[in-house]
Amino acid sequence: MRVAIVVARFNDFITERLLEGAMAALADEGVGADAVDVLRVPGAFEIPMAAQRVAETGQVAAVICLGCLIRGGTPHFEYIASACAHGITAAASATGVPMAFGVLTTNSAEEALERVAPGPAHKGREAAAAALEMARLFAGLGDGRS
């Protein structure tokens, strides 16, 4: 099974940990690094476009979307969070490829760090597990992408 991970560079002190957790979860499920395409984008706003583009290739069974938005003093947070969430949903619907939402939306860096702490609640691991579960479900329905 081939999987893509689209990861934002913005707030990389968090997104790199999300990526590490996702890769570890994939490895635990027998998906080797050679079957994973990692695409880096500037920020969360760019995740949906890259996710849709890689899904449109027909080469991946799932896309794991990873990013981190930390609330600031302006409404920018809400606009980007909304655009990212709606964009990923639209991309998954348009392509029929499962896309896991591993984009943190937190009030502080401390909250973000809590969500990437080692353990079963690691949000990168959770996103990877969800993507694999959906890819396997779709493959069982005759999707043909696995």
Residue range 71-121, pLDDT digits in tens: 998 889 999 999 999 999 999 999 999 999 999 999 999 999 999 999 889
Residues 4-26: pLDDT tens digits? Answer: 999 999 999 999 999 999 999 99
Are 70 and 11 spatial neighbours (Cβ–Cβ below 8 Å)?
yes
The answer to whether residue 43 sits within a structural domain is yes
Q: Region 122-142: what's the mean pLDDT? A: 95
Compute the distance between CA of residue 92 and CA of residue 30 in angstroms, rounded to an integer.
24
Torsion over CA of 129, 132, 137 and 142, rounded to 10 degrees? 180
CA 62/CA 99 separation, integer angstroms = 6
Residue 145 lies in a domain: no
Q: Which DSSP helix (H) or strand (E) runs through 103?
A: strand 99-106
User: Which residues are marked as active site?
Assistant: 76
**Is the model more confident about 144 or about 5?**
5
* Adjacent-strand bridge partners of 68: 104
Residue at 146 is within a domain: no
Domain count, the chain: 1
Q: What is the domain extent for residue 27?
A: 3-140
- Least confident segment among 29-38, 97-106, 116-125, 134-143: 134-143
